[in-house]
């Protein structure tokens, strides 16, 4: 049972140690890297447990389930927490290539650890109010990381980011207050047990809409995503990698939880709402991405569009579609974090991520270009890479559920993604550069981090069979609920 708290305790301890030596950057980097590797180790241990022995539950301080706070890891949570470890290691390794000294002396490393702790906590908690608290932990860390700078673009981005997230938190909290008033509990398993008997259609709809709005802001769904491309491209690449890889996925995860636990069997209009929002996100996100000429803004819009993929197949709530959605989330965390690190190398080499200043990378930086091919073409969905397999899994689920028009949109948007990423590859790497020259070296630590994440992508690609079996099991667990409820509320009638 102890394995369950390690993904939360390890980053907390690391952050506490890091705070002791604020003025020694090199020492901090090593401590942070060690902490992240330990985090990855503990998450892998937890995953093995969950995979082998079933759902793991810890009642904090021994208070039994509906009264105390429960920490619980089912397959979905365990797999996502492993991804937190992977991204954590990559980002702390990338810090060796140099962090802006001001940021570093003002707590860059401890904040990253606190952020990782918040994300792990959000994935592992079994209580909706506790989920709100973890959201806030993670948000405050991200606020400070975002605002630790004085250029006007960054301050402006931080301001938008903070405001919209505070509004989303208020809406989430409102939903929690109403839910507690109706159901009398916020423990997820207890809710899953009680809600089907206490729900009334009106309350159900109000709560669901509040949850959808709050989590759609966090995840970045249309029409609530505009804050994301307006802010994610301003912080340094490593911070962008954590934000893009993990933070939006917490929103998707929260949607998966509330939709499977609470709103299975709710009014179909609710699922149509989420489906329409998701499809609009896909289309508008990608059309906007095609209109951009800056590498990081292209990434931000692609990120938004692909979040739409995952929520579209989530809203169908069939086992196959949900399994595809989970697979895609796992693949996307790695790929998008990797691409933000690639943008960090581009920024280092050319001092810009605008396509005008890029180009000719293939000639000047052949190794880096080959490494960058993996995430770029994986996101584009070129077979046989993980993006292609993820889309295939989603398509299978969508067609299986009979939502042919959604399948059609997934295909069209897939084609647009191919166009967007193909053009990005051509413009940034393949096209001969007229004037641009590389200012410096790409930075070996960054290249190591990128190749590490690329290896994970390749592992997802070649291990797709077993992984897909795992995501199918996770989807089954989510939809069946009984196993989850039984594990958490052991001994209750």
Partner 1 sequence: MEVLLAIASGVLYAAGIYLMLRRRLAQLIIGLSLLSNGTNLLIFTAGGLTRAQPPVVPDGADRLMPPYADPVPQALVLTAIVIGFGLLAFSLVLAHRVHATIGSDDVDEIGRGR
Q: Give residues in contact with partner 1 (CB under 8 A).
A: 129, 133, 136, 140, 143-144, 147, 150-153, 155-156, 158-159, 162-163, 166-167, 169-170, 173-174, 176-178, 180-182, 184, 186
* Closer residue to partner 1, CB minimum distance, 184 or 384: 184
- Smallest gap, in angstroms, from Cβ of residue 154 to partner 1? 9
Helix 75-94 and helix 25-53, axial crossing angle in degrees, nearest 10: 160
Beta bridge partners of 127: 187
d(CA 355, CA 372): 16
- Which tokens is 420 given? 């967007």
DSSP one-letter code for 461: H
- Smallest gap, in angstroms, from Cβ of residue 180 to partner 1? 6
Among residues 119, 383, 155, 136, the alpha carbon closest in space to that of 241 is found at 119
* Closer residue to partner 1, CB minimum distance, 147 or 448: 147
- Smallest gap, in angstroms, from Cβ of residue 161 to partner 1? 10
* Closer residue to partner 1, CB minimum distance, 169 or 318: 169
- Smallest gap, in angstroms, from Cβ of residue 294 to partner 1? 12
- Smallest gap, in angstroms, from Cβ of residue 237 to partner 1? 19
* Closer residue to partner 1, CB minimum distance, 184 or 383: 184
Count of all residues that appear for the chain in the document: 493
Sort 436 into a burial class: Cβ within 10 Å, 0-12 / 13-18 / 19+. middle
- Which tokens is 230 given? 């307006």
Helix 319-350 and helix 444-462, axial crossing angle in degrees, nearest 10: 160
* Closer residue to partner 1, CB minimum distance, 152 or 435: 152
72 sits in which H/E element: strand 70-73
- Smallest gap, in angstroms, from Cβ of residue 241 to partner 1? 22
- Smallest gap, in angstroms, from Cβ of residue 307 to partner 1? 24
- Smallest gap, in angstroms, from Cβ of residue 455 to partner 1? 37
Pairing assessment for the beta strands 70-73 and 56-59 based on DSSP bridges: antiparallel
* Closer residue to partner 1, CB minimum distance, 186 or 320: 186
* Closer residue to partner 1, CB minimum distance, 214 or 453: 214
Sort 435 into a burial class: Cβ within 10 Å, 0-12 / 13-18 / 19+. exposed
**φ/ψ of residue 149, rounded to 5:** -160, 165
Q: Is the dihedral of CA 209, 471, 138, 446 positive or negative?
A: negative
* Closer residue to partner 1, CB minimum distance, 185 or 365: 185
């Amino acid at each position: 049972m102890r394995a369950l708290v390690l993904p939360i305790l390890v980053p907390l301890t690391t952050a506490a140690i890091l705070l002791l030596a604020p003025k020694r950057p090199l020492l901090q980097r090593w401590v942070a890297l060690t902490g992240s590797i330990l985090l990855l180790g503990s998450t892998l241990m937890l995953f093995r447990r969950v995979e082998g022995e079933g759902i793991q539950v810890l009642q904090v301080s021994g208070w039994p389930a509906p009264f105390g706070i429960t920490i619980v890891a089912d397959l979905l949570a365990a797999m996502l927490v492993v991804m937190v470890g992977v991204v954590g290691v990559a980002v702390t390794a990338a810090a060796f290539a140099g962090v802006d000294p001001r940021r570093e002396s003002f707590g860059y490393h401890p904040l990253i650890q606190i952020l990782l702790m918040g994300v792990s906590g959000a994935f592992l908690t079994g209580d909706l109010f506790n989920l709100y608290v973890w959201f806030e932990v993670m948000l405050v860390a991200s606020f400070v990381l975002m605002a630790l700078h004085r250029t006007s673009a960054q301050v402006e981005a931080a301001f938008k980011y903070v405001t919209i997230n505070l509004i989303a938190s208020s809406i989430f909290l409102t939903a929690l207050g109403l839910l507690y008033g109706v159901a009398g509990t916020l423990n997820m398993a207890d809710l899953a047990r009680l809600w089907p008997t206490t729900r009334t259609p009106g309350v159900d709809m109000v709560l669901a809409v509040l949850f959808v709005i709050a989590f759609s802001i966090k995840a970045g769904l249309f029409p609530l995503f505009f804050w994301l491309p307006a802010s994610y491209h301003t912080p340094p690449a490593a911070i962008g990698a954590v934000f893009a890889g993990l933070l939006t996925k917490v929103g998707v995860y929260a949607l998966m939880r509330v939709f499977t636990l609470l709103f299975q069997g709710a009014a179909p209009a609710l699922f149509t709402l989420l489906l329409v929002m998701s499809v609009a996100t896909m289309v508008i996100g990608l059309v906007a991405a095609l209109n951009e000429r800056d590498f990081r803004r292209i990434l931000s819009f692609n990120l938004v569009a692909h979040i739409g993929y995952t929520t579209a197949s989530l809203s169908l709530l069939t086992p196959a579609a949900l399994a595809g959605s989970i697979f895609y989330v796992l693949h996307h965390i790695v790929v998008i974090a990797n691409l933000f690190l690639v943008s960090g190398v581009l920024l280092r080499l050319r001092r810009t991520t605008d396509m005008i200043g890029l180009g000719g990378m293939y000639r000047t930086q052949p190794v880096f270009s080959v490494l960058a091919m993996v995430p770029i073409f994986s996101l584009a969905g070129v077979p046989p890479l993980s993006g292609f397999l993820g889309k295939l899994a989603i398509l299978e689920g969508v067609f299986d559920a009979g939502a042919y028009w959604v399948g059609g949109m997934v295909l069209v948007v897939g084609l647009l993604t191919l166009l967007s990423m193909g053009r990005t590859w051509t413009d940034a790497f393949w096209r001969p550069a007229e004037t641009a020259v590389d200012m410096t070296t790409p930075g070996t630590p960054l290249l190591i981090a990128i190749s590490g994440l690329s290896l994970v992508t390749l592992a997802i690609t070649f291990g797709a069979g077993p992984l897909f079996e795992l995501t199918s099991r996770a989807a089954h667990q989510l939809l069946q609920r009984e196993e989850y409820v039984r594990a958490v509320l052991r001994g209750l009638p």
